[in-house]
Amino acid sequence: MVNGIFFPFVLYRGIGALSSVTVHLFASLWWQVVAT
């Protein structure tokens, strides 16, 4: 029953990484819009 603890942790980490990348992309995109 290790998966019961392991899977949500992996899912949480995956979502965290994905949102981090999305925020980074959006920030760089916004910076390009503001800079021009």
Residues 1-36: tens digit of each pLDDT: 567 778 888 888 999 999 999 999 999 999 999 987
Q: How many domains does the chain have?
A: 1
Distance CA 26, CA 33 (A): 10
Q: What does the pLDDT read at residue 6?
A: 85
Distance CA 17, CA 6 (A): 16
Domain of 23, in residue numbers: 1-36
Q: The pTM is what?
A: 0.54
